Structure 1
Amino acid sequence: MELRTRLLWSALFFIVAFFVCFWAAQYIYNFLLIPLAQTMERVGGSQRMIFTAITEMFFTYVKVGAFGAVIVSFPIFATQLWKFVAPGLYRHEKRALLPFLLLSPILFAAGGAMVYYVVMPMAWEFLLGFQTTRAETVLPIQLEAKVGEYLSLVMRLMLAFGFCFQMPVILTLLARTGAVSADGLARGRKYAIVFIFIVAAVLTPPDVISQLLLALPMIVLYEASVWAAKLAERARRKSLEREEAAGLPQPVGGASATGAGSTPAPAGASASAGPVSGALPAPAPASPSAPAPAQAPAPVAPRAAALSASAGSSWLARADGMIDETDFNHSP
C-alpha cells in the first residue's frame, strides 16, 4: 500500500512536469540549439533547421517535454524510493547509502554539463568541417539539420554521459558490500580501458573527438573508483571490527566471583564431590539415642555403578553354586 502510494505521487509529479516542460518546449529546444548555432556562425554554412514530416515538430516537442520531465522528476522519484526503503535499514546502512544517493544526481548533472559545454561545441565544429563551398566541389555541401535527429543525438549524448558518470557510485557500492575489491579493479585496469573505449564508440557519434571526450573522463572516473573502493573497504573493515568487538561474550560473575587468576569451576561441580585428591573425611560418631540421619540420594552415576556391581556379584554367586552342585552330583 505504501509503495503504491509513493509510486502514484511520483507518477503524478512526472505528469505535471511533462505538461510544464511541453509548454516550455520551445525555450528548452532553443537552449539546446545554442552550441550548434554558435558553431555555425564560426564555421559558416546554412544557419537553419528543417523538418521533413508534418508531425515531426510536434513529436519533437513531445520528446523535449518527456526528456525534461524525466530530469526534473528524478529527484522526487529518488526521494520517494528512499522514504520507502529507509525504515527497513539500520542506522549504519543509512549512513553508508545516503552519500551515494546525494552524489548520484550531482554526477549525472556533471555529465550533462560536460556534454553541453565541452563535447557539443568541439564535436559540432569537427563535424561541420566537412562542409564544402562551390569553389571546393561542383556543388556546395551544406548541413540541413533536422530538428528530430538533432534532439535525439543531444538526448543520447546527455544520457550516455550522465549514466557513465555513475561509475564511481556503482563501483564504490559494490566495494562496500564486498562484491568487488580495489585490488581486483586495479588488476583489471587494462580490460576496463578496452571496455570503456568500446562503450564510448557505441554511445557517441561516429567521430574520434566524441569517442575520446567520453572515454577519457570515464578512465579518470575509473581511477577515482579504485581510490574510492579502497576507502570503502577500509570503512567496511572498521565496521566489521566494531561489530565483532560489540558481540564478544562477557563473563557472568566478573573477576570477583572466582578471584584474580583463578579458573571458574565447571557448571556441574559442587562441594559435595569432595577434594580432588585424598580420602573422604570420616563421619562423626552418632549418639545411640539420636535417630539415624537421613541419607541423601546417591547420584545417578554411582547408583547405577552400585546396581551394576550388585548384579554382577549375584550372577557370580549363582554361577559358583551351580558349579559346586554339579561337582557334588558327579563326584564318585
Structure 2
Amino acid sequence: MSDTPSQPDDELKGSEQPFVAHLIELRDRLIWAVAAVAVAAAALAIYPGPGNLYDILAAPLVVHLPKGATLIATSVISPFMVPLKILLMSAFLIALPVVLYQVWAFVAPGLYSHEKKLVMPLVVSSTVLFFIGVAFCYFFVFGQVFSFIQSFAPKSITAAPDIEAYLSFVLSMFLAFGLAFEVPVAVVVLARMGVVSIQKLKDFRGYFVVLAFVIAAVVTPPDVVSQLALAIPMCLLYELGIWAAQVFIKHTQAPDEASSAS
C-alpha cells in the first residue's frame, strides 16, 4: 500500500477545448462587445446627440466663462470630430459592463474556483472605482478648478478655449482621477500576490502620503484645489485598500493555502 497521499481531482480536468474552438469563442465574444458599443453609440447619436454630449462635457467650464464667452474651434473639422470622439468614448463607457462580462465569460472556464473569487471582485471593483473617480472629477473638481483659474484671469483677457484642447484636458483629468481611485485595487493585488505584506503596507503610510501629493502635483493643473482633490482621496483610498486586502486575502485562498494556514 502506497504512503503517498492522494491528490484531489483537478476541477478543470476535462474542460480543455481545441485551439480553433477558443478562437471561435473569442471571435463571438468580440462581436458581442463591439455590438454593445455600436448599440450604445447609436442610442446616444439619437438622444441626446453628439453636440449635446459635448455641451454636457463642457458645462463645468462654460458656467465659469465670462458672460458672452464661448468655446471656439480652430480646426475646420473640429466641430465634427470632437463631438464624434465624445460619442464613441461615452458609448464605450456605457457598454463597458457588457465588454467586461464578455472578457470574464471567455477566461472564467479556465480558472479554478478560488481564482474566480479573486478575479471577478477585482474586475467589478476596479470598474466601479474608475467611474467614481471620473464622476468625482466632473461634478466636484472641474467646478472648483475652473472657478479658481478664472479668478486669476485679468479683466483685459477674454477666455475662449479651443474645443480640442478642452477635450484633451478633460480626458487627461478623467484618466488621472480614474486611475487614482484604483489605489485600493492595486493595494489588494500587491498584498494578495505576496509582493508586500499587510504590515509593510501599514508602515508605508507616511511615504504614500508624500507620494500622493507628488503625483497630484505632476498630473493636475498647477492649482492647490485640484492637487488636494486628488491627493486626499488617494490617501483615504490607500487606507481602504489595506482594510480590503485583509478581507480579500482571507476569502480568496486556494485550498492548499487555506489548509496550510490552519
Same fold (TM over 0.5): yes
The aligned residue for residue 228 of structure 1 is 244
Indicate yes or no: 2:210 matched with 1:185. Answer: no
Equivalent position to 2:90, from 36, 49, 68: 68
- For the pair 1:150 / 2:166, whether they are aligned, the reply is yes
For the aligned residue pairs, the C-alpha RMSD in angstroms reads: 2.4
Q: Aligned pair count?
A: 237
Partner of 2:7: none
Equivalent-residue separation in structure 1 for 2:208 and 2:44 (angstroms): 38
Structure 2 runs not aligned, ≥5 long: 1-22
> Matches of 1:99 and 1:236 in 2, distance apart?
10
* Equivalent residue in structure 2 for 1:14, among 15, 37, 42: 37
Q: Could you tell me which runs of 5 or more consecutive residues in structure 1 were left unpaired when the two chains were aligned.
A: 134-139, 247-332
Larger radius of gyration: 1
User: Against the structure 1 CA distance between its residues 198 and 66, is the aligned structure 2 distance closer, same or farther, given a 3 Å change threshold?
Assistant: farther
Q: 2:141 aligns with which of 108, 115, 119?
A: 119
1:6-30 Cα shifts (integer Å, max 9, x gaps): 1232233334444544562112111
Higher normalized contact order (CA 8 Å, seq sep 6+, divided by chain length): 2
Equivalence for 1:169? 185
CA deviations 1:201-247 (Å, max 9, x no partner) are 2322222221211111111111111222222344467965643499x
1:50 matches 2:72: yes
Contact 2:73 2:163 in 1 (8 A): yes
Code of the aligned partner of 2:137: V
Percent pairwise identity: 36
Residue 193 of structure 1 and its aligned partner are, at CA, apart by: 2.5
Cα deviations across residues 65-106 of structure 1 (Å, max 9, x unaligned)?
232133123212210111011111222322333222222222
Separation in 2 of the partners of 1:51 and 1:237?
A: 55
- Given the alignment of the two structures, is residue 35 of structure 1 paired with residue 40 of structure 2, yes or no? no
- Structural mapping, 1:311-330, within 5 Å: none
Q: Distance in 1 between matches of 2:115 and 2:181?
A: 23
Q: For residues 238 and 94 of structure 1, do their structure 2 counterparts lie closer, same or farther at Cα, with a shift above 3 Å needed?
A: closer
Counterpart residue identity of residue 186, structure 2: I
Report SS of the residue matched to 1:129: helix
TM-score when normalising by structure 2: 0.80
Letter of the aligned partner of 2:58 in structure 1?
Answer: L
Change (3 A) 1:102 1:236: closer
Indicate conservation of the 8 Å contact 1:115/1:158, yes or no.
yes
Structure 2 residue identity aligned to 1:82? W
Cα pair 1:25 1:64 within 8 Å, conserved: yes
